[in-house]
């Protein structure tokens, strides 16, 4: 089972910053970050629609220019909200990168950025938005994509297969309480479970057949009960 650092281990580092990604890479197999478009058109790495929670400023990301974002500090890190390009260039090549596309209309530019940066990392593009995943798949059939399952999605595995996904991401309790994991595994999908806080839960997910756990802080998966039992 792989450990994926949610926003660069958001509970222990300033989320979605380059520093968090570099530090998380020392403890995790992969790092997950969030992608939006800022007011001047660039793709930036930030979770919320506004910068209020994570910076010393306020306002909607979509209405704030990159130069204005550069003047704001993320959670006392000394860093500003990074562009997707900067983050990809700074990420250690040993760590996998998961990009969650947070809003419509950015998928094509995400693909262009990946082409321009040409990173050595395995990059997985995920979203709750099927249209964004279709754009990725149409633009680059070789780019791994993953469907994130909302509570309202009644046919997650079928939808993921229709989109030609590689990965299905779901809340950990759904992975344990429903048949989504064996169904996804049967259809050849890798399964990632979020957001896991305890090793005991990770162990249960491993026994269930989950391939990766997304966590806000480092979790020791080296114990026998936390190792994946899937082939």
Cα angle 82, 20, 70 (rounded to 5 degrees) comes to 25
For residue 78, is it left (φ>0), alpha (ψ between -120 and 50) or beta? left
Supply the DSSP string of 182-222, one letter for each residue.
HHHHHTT-EEEEE----HHHHHHHHHHT-SEEEESS-----
Cα–Cα distance measured from residue 91 to residue 181, given in angstroms and rounded to the nearest whole number = 30
The answer on pLDDT for 9 being more than 70 is yes
**Predicted local confidence at residue 227, as pLDDT:** 46
- Mind listing the pLDDT tens digit for each residue in 141-173? 999 999 999 988 889 999 999 999 999 999 999
Cα–Cα distance measured from residue 160 to residue 30, given in angstroms and rounded to the nearest whole number = 21
Cα–Cα distance measured from residue 3 to residue 40, given in angstroms and rounded to the nearest whole number = 34
**Predicted local confidence at residue 223, as pLDDT:** 57
- Mind listing the pLDDT tens digit for each residue in 54-108? 999 999 999 999 999 999 999 999 999 999 999 999 999 999 999 999 999 999 9
The residue among 52, 37, 158 whose CA lies nearest residue 101 is 37
List Cβ neighbours of 153 (8 Å cut-off, separation of 6 or more). 159
List Cβ neighbours of 192 (8 Å cut-off, separation of 6 or more). 4, 146, 167, 168, 169, 170, 210, 211, 212, 213, 214
The token pair at 153 is 């999605």
The residue among 111, 143, 138 whose CA lies nearest residue 35 is 111
Q: Which residue has 């990725």 as its token pair?
A: 136
The answer on pLDDT for 109 being more than 80 is yes
108 in Cβ contact with 134 (< 8 Å): no
Cα angle 37, 43, 44 (rounded to 5 degrees) comes to 90
**Predicted local confidence at residue 123, as pLDDT:** 98
Classify residue 50 by its DSSP letter. Answer: B
Three-state secondary structure string covering 115-155:
HHHCCCCCEEEEECCHHHHHHHHHHCCCCCEEEECCCCCCC
Query: Judging by DSSP bridges, how do beta strands 190-194 and 43-45 pair with one another?
Result: unpaired
What are the two backbone dihedrals, phi and then psi, of residue 23, each rounded to the nearest 5 degrees?
Answer: -70, -45
Domains and CATH numbers, the chain: 2-226 (3.20.20.190)
Cα–Cα distance measured from residue 171 to residue 183, given in angstroms and rounded to the nearest whole number = 15
**How many other C-beta atoms lie within 10 A of the C-beta of residue 160?**
26
Q: What percent of the chain has pLDDT over 90?
A: 92
């Amino acid at each position: 089972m792989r450990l994926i650092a949610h926003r660069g281990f958001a509970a222990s580092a300033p989320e979605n910053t380059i520093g968090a990604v570099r530090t998380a890479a020392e403890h995790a197999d992969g790092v997950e970050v969030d992608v939006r478009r800022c007011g001047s058109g660039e793709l930036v790495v930030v979770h919320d629609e506004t910068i209020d929670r994570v910076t010393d400023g306020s306002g909607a990301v979509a209405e704030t220019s990159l130069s204005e974002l550069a003047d704001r500090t993320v959670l006392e890190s000394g860093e500003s909200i990074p562009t997707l390009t900067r983050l990809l260039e700074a990420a250690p090549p040993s760590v996998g990168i998961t990009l969650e596309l947070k809003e419509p209309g950015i998928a094509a530019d995400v693909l262009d950025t990946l082409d321009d940066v040409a990173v050595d990392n395995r990059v997985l593009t995920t979203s709750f938005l099927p249209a964004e995943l279709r754009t990725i798949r149409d633009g680059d059939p070789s780019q791994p994509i993953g469907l994130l399952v909302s509570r309202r999605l009644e046919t997650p595995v079928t939808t993921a297969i229709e989109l030609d996904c590689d990965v299905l991401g779901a809340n950990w309790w759904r992975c344990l309480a429903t048949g989504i994991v064996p169904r996804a595994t049967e259809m050849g999908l890798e399964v990632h479970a979020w957001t896991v806080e305890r090793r005991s839960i990770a162990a249960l997910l491993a026994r269930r057949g989950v391939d990766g756990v997304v966590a806000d802080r480092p979790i020791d998966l080296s114990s026998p009960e936390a190792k994946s039992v899937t082939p």
